[in-house]
């Protein structure tokens, strides 16, 4: 194996980020949950042996990144670095917290986060170089999720400040997690049910296309806070007029306006992708379908939808990732979801509580993006 001495370009990026990480504090120590934290370097945060092992693993990974090494080696080195970081951060609280101190909070700091970014970039780059197929990428996401679940279950991270926030409100966490996912998926489902037929209408009747897409474009530009404000009056009126809807929880604030807002934002990507997907179906195939005696419905179901499906699925991917992130806003108006922790944390200046809401949101959106990208690629694969 010939190893060139010219450094790898992505490797340089990884090395620069890792160097910045090495120069930054690895962890933060706080006397209690709301005071400002004091930085701790890697060698302060961990016992000498542990710190040395982590530093060595990361250094080797950076060397692998810098040299022109094969993809599988880069992926293995990046995953080893990420694994070492994950285990190491769990060991920090025990080392930093004085015996018997129950108020102290220990959490990851800039150095840890930068290292995480550096080796995540390296892992993503390696998986692209290896040309991992859709199935391999889905398996990879599941394996990473399994690893994180294992670390959580064994209590390896229980000392970290975020997990201390969780420990106090695990019931609320899972309830809001359920609401968050229900909001995101529910409004996605509604957008699919309404958006695809609207897209078909736009495709079949060009006269209405401009009007529908124009309105949805305007909706997309309304800031979410303004959207909630605009929804309060009409939804309150609806709830007042139809008591059974009020009994179901529809009202000016709460989950209903959050659901409606997510749905409204989701419509444009759904309709636009349906229109683009249908327009991309080869004209000859549509002409042949007509010429062979397919009815309008048969043409749509047997020819146009299957051929437009990858583009429509791309729309679903955009909406799902967007919704998982946007659903956080529901916390502002009593709609539940991970946003509850984010806004509570902001109110209490308890950054760990903010992270308890933000980290799972990011993880969900990120995994959804990878899984659906893989699905889109798989659906395109057959047409090549």
**Minimum CB separation from other proteins for residue 310, in Å?**
10
Cβ distance to other proteins smaller for residue 139 or 285 = 285
Stretch of 60-68, 119-127, 187-195, 287-295 contacting other proteins, by CB under 8 A: 287-295
d(CA 69, CA 374): 26
> Contact between 206 and other proteins (CB under 8 A)?
no
Closest to 85 in 3D by CA, of 13, 172, 27: 27
CA 287 to CA 285: how far, in whole Å? 5
Question: Cβ 291 to other proteins, closest distance in Å?
Answer: 4
Alpha-carbon gap, residue 62 to 83, rounded angstroms = 15
Site stretch for other proteins (CB under 8 A), options 157-165, 228-236, 302-310, 328-336: 302-310
Quick one: three-class SS letters along 144-209?
HHHHHHHHHHCCCCCCCHHHHHHHHCHHHHHHHHHHHHHHHHHHHHHHHHHHHHHHHHHHHCHHHH
Q: Pick from 322, 338, 210, 198: which is nearest to 271 by CA? A: 198
How many Cα atoms sit within 13 Å of 185 on the Cβ side?
8
**Within positions 208 to 247, which residues make up the interface with other proteins, using CB under 8 A?**
none
289 torsion bin: left (phi>0), alpha (psi -120 to 50), beta (else): alpha
- CB of 105 within 8 A of CB of 161? yes
Residue 369 binding other proteins, by CB under 8 A? no
Told to check if 359 binds other proteins by CB under 8 A, we report no
x/- letters, 306..345, toward other proteins (CB under 8 A): xx--------------------------------------
Q: Which stretch binds other proteins (CB under 8 A): 17-25, 133-141, 251-259, 300-308?
A: 300-308
Among 210, 218, 287, 362, which residue interacts with other proteins (rule: CB under 8 A)?
A: 287
Residue 207 near other proteins by CB under 8 A:
no
Q: Which is nearer to other proteins, 101 or 287 (CB)?
A: 287
Residue 298 binds other proteins, judged by CB under 8 A: yes
Helix (H) or strand (E) holding 346: helix 339-348
- Residue 227 or residue 303: which is nearer to other proteins going by CB? 303
Q: Is 367 a binder of other proteins (CB under 8 A)?
A: no
| Interface with other proteins, residue 378, by CB under 8 A | no
The CB-of-283 to other proteins minimum distance in angstroms stands at 9
CB 73 within 8 A of CB 115: no
What is the closest distance, in whole angstroms, from the C-beta atom of residue 137 to other proteins in the complex? 23
The correct pick among 3, 36, 241, 292 for binding other proteins (CB under 8 A) is: 292
153 binds other proteins (CB under 8 A): no
Name the burial class of residue 36, with classes exposed (0-12), middle (13-18) and buried (19+) by CB atoms within 10 angstroms of its CB: exposed
Based on CB atoms, which residue is closest to other proteins, 204 or 290?
290
Query: Using the rule CB under 8 A, is 284 a contact of other proteins?
Result: yes
Return phi, psi of residue 29, to 5°.
-115, 130
Of 222 and 294, nearer to other proteins (C-beta) is 294
Task: Give the span between the Cα atoms of 326 and 321, in whole angstroms.
Answer: 9
- Residue 250 or 375: which CB sits closer to other proteins? 375
Question: For residues 54 and 196, which CB has a smaller minimum distance to other proteins in the complex?
Answer: 196
What sign does the CA torsion over 351, 354, 355, 358 have? negative
235: closest CA among 250, 224, 255, 247? 250
Q: Please, what is the minimum distance in Å from the beta carbon of residue 204 to other proteins?
A: 17
- What angle is formed at CA 52 by the lines to CA 48 and CA 55, rounded to 5 degrees? 140
The residue within the footprint of other proteins, chosen from 181, 294, 369, 371 (CB under 8 A), is 294
DSSP run (H or E) holding 275: helix 255-279
Residue of the chain from 116, 162, 289, 355 that contacts other proteins (CB under 8 A): 289
SS3 call for 40: strand
Residue 282 Cβ vs other proteins, minimum distance, rounded to whole Å: 7
To other proteins, the closest distance from the beta carbon of 207 in angstroms equals 17
Can you give the binding site for other proteins, defined by CB under 8 A? Answer: 282, 284-285, 287-295, 298, 302-303, 306-307, 382-384
């Amino acid at each position: 194996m010939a190893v060139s001495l010219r450094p790898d370009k992505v490797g340089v990026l990884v090395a620069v980020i890792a160097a910045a990480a090495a120069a930054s504090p690895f962890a933060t120590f706080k006397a209690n949950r709301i005071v400002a934290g004091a930085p701790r370097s890697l060698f302060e945060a961990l016992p000498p042996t542990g710190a040395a092992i982590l530093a060595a693993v990361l250094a080797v990974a950076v060397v692998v990144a810098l040299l022109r090494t094969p993809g599988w080696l880069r992926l293995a080195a990046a995953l080893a670095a990420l694994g070492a970081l994950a285990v190491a951060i769990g060991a920090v609280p025990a080392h930093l917290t004085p015996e018997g101190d129950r108020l102290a909070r220990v959490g990851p700091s800039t150095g840890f986060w930068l290292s995480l970014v550096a080796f995540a970039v390296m892992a993503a780059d390696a998986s692209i170089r290896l040309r991992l197929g859709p199935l391999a990428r889905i398996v990879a996401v599941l394996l990473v999720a399994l690893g994180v679940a294992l670390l959580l279950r064994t209590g390896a991270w229980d000392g970290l400040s975020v997990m201390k926030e969780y420990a106090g409100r695990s019931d609320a966490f899972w309830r809001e997690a359920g609401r968050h996912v229900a909001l995101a998926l529910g409004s996605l489902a509604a957008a699919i049910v309404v958006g695809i037929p609207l897209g078909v209408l736009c495709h079949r009747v060009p006269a209405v296309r401009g009007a529908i897409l124009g309105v949805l474009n305007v909706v997309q530009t309304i800031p979410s806070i303004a959207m909630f404000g605009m929804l309060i009056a009409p939804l309150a009126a609806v709830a007042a007029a139809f008591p059974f809807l009020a009994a179901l929880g529809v009202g000016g604030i709460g989950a209903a306006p959050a659901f409606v807002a997510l749905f409204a934002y989701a419509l444009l990507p759904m309709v636009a992708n349906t229109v683009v997907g249908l327009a991309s179906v080869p004209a000859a195939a549509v002409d042949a379908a007509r010429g062979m005696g397919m009815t309008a419905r048969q043409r749509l179901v047997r020819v146009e939808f299957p051929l437009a499906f990858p583009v429509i699925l791309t729309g679903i991917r955009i909406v799902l990732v967007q919704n998982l992130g946007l659903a956080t806003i529901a916390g502002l108006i009593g709609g539940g979801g991970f946003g509850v922790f984010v806004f509570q944390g902001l109110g209490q200046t308890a950054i760990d509580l903010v992270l308890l809401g933000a980290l799972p949101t990011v993880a969900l959106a990120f995994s959804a993006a990878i899984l659906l990208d893989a699905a889109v690629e798989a659906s395109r694969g057959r047409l090549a």
